[in-house]
Structure 1
């Protein structure tokens, strides 16, 4: 399917402020960027680089006063996301090198604290995809999804204690449990066509059967088209914007995702 997605950010900047932005999706095997627009107002010099996880990042210094960032993209993405019950666990010694960083505990995914819990959740399940599915079922059935309520990032351990959180927090718990079973898992931030209320969304991917598979604890199925913007170990790696120095005021943020009738002309 073809999707048009956009993100608008509006700031009040008290002093010139360094920013790191992460708003440009890249083409990959499940999505192809056909057209994009990236407008900063007022216009400032930007340096783009690729981070350790292959994400496209932009460095800039915003001027004092009113500052806006508007990005949009026309992209072809998968009509449906694969599921693979029975897909096998990949032994650590057989994993590709680039999956290894997604085995370790990270700031918000304390996988070393979930070994016993993860084993109990997947008892009786075949190693691999079926274990990940059991973890997602547990999160969906025991954690209350509260979209729009998560201003402060919480870790997998904190979410497990609180019992409610946003998509980002639920992904943290899924990632931590997968890693506790030696299954590489990474966070994804992007757009989801059917999301209500509309916002940016987070889910996770697990490496099983020698490829990455999508999992989303906020949904019963994988409905709607998705656009991946950034991948990382947890939320610390995939912030769409990071500002340095004194805090700035985010006046407005607007996200929109629409299905297109066909390829852009």
Structure 2
């Protein structure tokens, strides 16, 4: 599927502020960037980096009201969906890069949920069955409600209030998977059909020798997702990180399907 994504972030920086931006589409194996453009107004010097995973960041210093506009057209080809069945790996079978995603992290205290996860999902079957059982539980037990969580809310908070937004659903899904020894990581994304349009948070699980994208909110089709970055949780994938406080003036995100009809 070919998709066009755009983000326009207008922020007010009241003095020289160091900024790390994480809004560019990732150079990952399951998507191809056909075209893209990043514009800052007023213009500012940028340092752009790409890590070994293909995730891309820009660094700059901003000191006044600034518009950051990113647009991209991306081809996801035929993205693979989570299979109907799949084996969960033993720890000694996992690739080294997956091991960090077994561990608790800032927003995903999986060590506190091992007993619950084993009791609730441990007998579901193979690895895919366990993940599907987790997704079914979240869909049945957690309401999608804005305003009940903050950027500091962890999966433990979501488990208690049984409500949240995409990052909360994702943190809870990751927490349950890690509690079952299934590697799981957060993915920030542009996503088709998300209402209201915004940056979206989904997750990946490692089963059957591969990472598989899943959306705990069930709001976005997997083939309609454009990856931005992945990490342990939202702390690793924030779209804007600053060393001083700043003010949001406006923020718009849009994703649409490219019409390929001739």
- Determine if the TM-score, normalized by the shorter chain, exceeds 0.5: yes
Q: CA RMSD in A?
A: 1.9
The alignment partner of 2:23 has SS state of strand
The 5 A counterparts of 1:58-97 are 58-63=58-63, 65-78=64-77, 81-97=80-96
| TM-score (norm. length: structure 2) | 0.94
Distance 1:78 1:225 in 2: 10
Distance 1:40 1:20 in 2: 13
Distance 1:221 1:229 in 2: 15
Moved more, 165-174 or 53-62: 53-62
Aligned to 2:34: 34
Aligned residues between the structures: 261
Distance 1:45 1:174 in 2: 39
Structure 1 portions without partners, runs of 5+: none
Distance 1:153 1:224 in 2: 30
Structure 1 stretches of at least 4 aligned residues deviating more than 6 Å after TM superposition: none
CA pair 195-67 structure 1, distance change in 2 beyond 3 A: same
CA pair 220-38 structure 1, distance change in 2 beyond 3 A: closer
Distance 2:6 2:207 in 1: 32
Structure 2 portions without partners, runs of 5+: none
Distance 2:52 2:100 in 1: 10
Aligned to 1:15: 15
| TM-score (norm. length: structure 1) | 0.93
The alignment partner of 2:111 has SS state of helix
Aligned to 1:261: 259
Deviation per residue, 1:178-216 (Å, 9 max, x gap): 111111100011111111111111110100010011221
